Structures are given as structure tokens and as C-alpha cells.
Structure 1
């Protein structure tokens, strides 16, 4: 996925109220922008960090700038949680994600489960539909190891249970963890921050839900598929 226009670099002053951030542009101007990530963003909000922002001229937007990338320890990290579905969709179309290749149809945001919408529904005349849920990952505490989630997520656990229901209904269900950073060689479930999500993950795998972790290559020009990385969890 290429950014539609060049990103603007700046220095992060602070991120606050989940939706907002202040930054200093390279010309010394201070701006307030929107943060398209409502999660904790652990380890990604240190004042003084180099950031990249998209700019929007729409009169309906309150803030012109939106946070897209943060540099941490020399690694560029994607923080926009609105992009993973698009990145995974493009990767599927390109045939880059082998386990999800070969389907003739792809639909987005289809209703399923209990008042939920699946991120991507893959269809084909020769096999059952594949329900694909996508989660954004950017949390790291140990070298080479990505972790999800970075804070408790009841909604995430609910999605895992609903994917299990799809499998028991004769469909295929796949959880894709999109790692928006390039310094991770593996992924694991962060059970100490959300034990309930860990239990939901175990239930889902036992019911036949598949799990994939996709690492991204990230620059201020684009975010694209790099490769699949292993998930360090029992049963995988």
C-alpha cells in the first residue's frame, strides 16, 4: 500500500486523549493532529520521537494532520489501525499470503456472528468461504518478538469466539495478525496483559481457527507485505 501523497515528518511532543497528538514540524511550527489509533500504543509515544503524518485538506476534518508512522529505536512503526485491512487485502490480491491465495471472490465488512462484521470474506466455488479477521500489531518488549494485544480487548476475544462458530458451521476462519514493523521474527499472544484474550485464542485454535502473522516492510512511502512469521503458541 503506497501512501497517496508524501508524508510530513515532525517531532512528537505528546499523544493524549487517545485521539490527539501534538508535534513540532521541521520548520518549528507546533501542530495538533488526529491519532488514528485508540489503543494504548505502549512504547510508541515517547516525546521527541520522529513521526510522519498524512495531510488532509477536507473541510469536514477538524485536524489537517493524521499520525501514520513513529520511529522507535531506528525502526519505523505503522500505527494507523485503519490501514491493516487494506494492506492484507492488497497482499491477498497479489498472492503474497500463500494460505489465503486462490479465492475468486473477496468482500469487505460482511455481517456475521453476533452483530459483528468480518473484515474480509473470501469466496470460491470450489471450497467453503474463508472468514478473515485482521488485527493490528505494533507492540514489542523483547527483541524480535511482536505481541498482541497491548491492552485488554473484550472485542478481540469476542471475534475469536465468533470465528470458532464459523468453523463449526462448516466454513474456514483465519485470524491475521498484521505486524506493522520490520524488526520482529515471531509473534506471541500477550497473556499477562489480557489473560481472557489468551484463553479465547486457545479456544479458537482448538475449534479449528487458523492464525497467521504477517510482517510488514515500512517506509514513509509505503507499507507492504514482507513475509509470514511464526506464532509461538501451542497447537501452531
Structure 2
């Protein structure tokens, strides 16, 4: 299944990323632009000066920047999607199409659901006939040899999600953490213990409490995001 981009992407070369949300690029015709970088993480191993990138350029009234950075070629023939919010959109489409078999069989799908006052908002609540809480994490950190890891920086928010998913599972409800792997060079996923050891500890504790952990491969292309299939999670 290919989920196309809203508009055709424009190729460019990365000059630099800075202030987290800005990137300077040069188009193939020599023009230099500053575009939005829609990624709050460290983007470790994603995007070095001179790398080939693809942009979504849109002229909209009131928009300060001419577009957003979407893809980067991290190695010859290997692409990553740096627009992390697309992970939820891809998962929503895949759920509706019945492509995520372990999460099939639910008649209803709601996004951004809070289960209790003061608690986290989870990405999806699947229901009917039963319920399943799903939290999605975008994976783009490739460590070489097909190995990917999450997170790419210490994630207090991710740690909180794991604690709450563990509570949900311990109460007898179904809870799932879904790694959406938007990097064509990754064929397996593990917790990044060397970056956030507490996240790794909490992830293993969550599994022991009954939380299901899945990883799904999504290959970025300039034409769109291709939902491929399940990947192993190494704990």
C-alpha cells in the first residue's frame, strides 16, 4: 500500500539544520531556501550537510516558510522520512485498510484519546467488540547492519507512555506500543539502551506487564510512503 504525498516532492541538498525546526537547503536550480523541519527529535544519523533531501513546497497565505522537509537519503538507496507526524497518518490508513493484522478486527478507531483526567493522550483507541490502546512511535535511528533503535534522545514523554501502558495492561485491557519504522534501511528494532537506558528498562517491564510491542516497516519514497510489513523487535 502506497500512501502518496499531498503534492509532488521537490529534490534538494541539505545545507544545515538548526534551531530544531529550521533547515537551509539548495534546490537543483541553485536557489537556497529555509524550510520547516517537522521533527522534534535529535534526528541522529538523519541528515548531514550535502545529503539529498526532498521537500513539500506549498505557497499558502500566512505561511512564513515555503515548505517542509520530508525525506532524506541517508545512504545510497536508503531513505528516511523525517516528518515524524506522518507516522500516525500512515498507521491510521493502514488500520483502516486492515494491513496491521495483529491489530485487526476492531470496528471503530479513534485518535488522540485520553483515558483518564491528567493522563497521557494515546494515539489510537480501537474498539468494538473489545478495546485496544495503541501508542505509535516513529523510528528513524539506524545503527547499521539493518538495526534500528528508539528513542534517538532521552524521552521522558516516551517513558511516561510506557508506565501508563503498563497500568492499562495490568488492569486487564489490551495495550500496544507500535514502532512505525520509516527508514528503508532498518529491518529490526530494539530499545536504544545506550541513549535512554530508562526507556529500555521500562519497555521490558511493560512487556512483562502484558503490553504488546510491534514494529511495522514503512518505506519512504519520493512518490509516497509504502506500508510493507511487520519487523522483529529485539528486547
TM-score by length of 2: 0.95
Q: Deviations over 1:153-177 (max 9, x none)?
A: 0100100111111112221100000
Mark the runs of 5 or more structure 1 residues left unpaired by the alignment: none
Runs of 4+ in 1 over 3 A off after TM superposition: none
Shift of 1:26: 0.8
Report the equivalent of 1:173: 175
The yes-or-no answer on 1:105 pairing with 2:108 is yes
Contact 2:39 2:83 in 1 (8 A): yes
Equivalent-residue separation in structure 1 for 2:75 and 2:201 (angstroms): 32
How far the C-alpha of 1:3 sits from its partner, in A, is 0.2
CA distance in 1, matches of 2:115, 2:127: 14
Aligned ranges for residues 22-33 of structure 1 at < 5 Å?
Answer: 22-33=24-35
- Residue number among 78, 81, 90 corresponding to 1:78 in the alignment: 81
Residues matched between the structures, number: 231
Deviation at 1:199, TM superposition (A): 1.1
Structure 2 Cα separation of the partners of residues 171 and 133 of structure 1: 14
For the 8 Å contact 2:20–2:39, the answer to whether it is kept is yes
Q: In structure 2, what is the Cα distance between the partners aligned to 1:45 and 1:199?
A: 29
Q: Is the CA contact (8 Å cut-off) linking 2:59 and 2:67 kept in structure 1?
A: no
Shift of the alpha carbon at 1:56?
Answer: 2.2
Match of 2:45 among 23, 43, 46: 43
Conservation of the 8 A alpha-carbon contact between 2:5 and 2:224: yes
Query: What is residue 115 of structure 1 aligned with on the other side?
Result: 119
Measure, in 2, the Cα distance between the counterparts of 1:58 and 1:207. Answer: 47
Unaligned runs of 5+ in 2: none
Q: Secondary structure at the match of 2:8?
A: coil
Name which of 128, 147, 150 aligns with 1:124: 128
Offset of residue 32 of structure 1? 0.2
What CA distance in whole angstroms lies between the structure 1 residues aligned with 2:181 and 2:62? Answer: 31
How big is the alpha-carbon RMSD for the aligned residues of Structure 1 and Structure 2? 1.1
> What's the secondary structure of 1:68's corresponding residue?
strand
Aligned pairs for 1:13-28 (under 5 A) are 13-28=15-30
How many Å apart are 1:139 and its aligned residue? 0.4
Aligned to 2:139: 137
* In 1, Cα distance between equivalents of 2:47 and 2:218: 20
Is 1:7 aligned to 2:29, yes or no? no
CA distance in 2, matches of 1:168, 1:224: 34
The one-character-per-residue Cα deviations of 1:83-111 (angstroms, maximum 9, x if unpaired) are 00110111111111110011000000011
Match of 1:227 in 2: 229
User: For 2:83 and 2:169, how far apart are their aligned partners in 1?
Assistant: 30
**Alpha-carbon separation, structure 2, partners of 1:185 and 1:33:** 30
TM-score between the two structures when normalised by the length of structure 1:
0.95
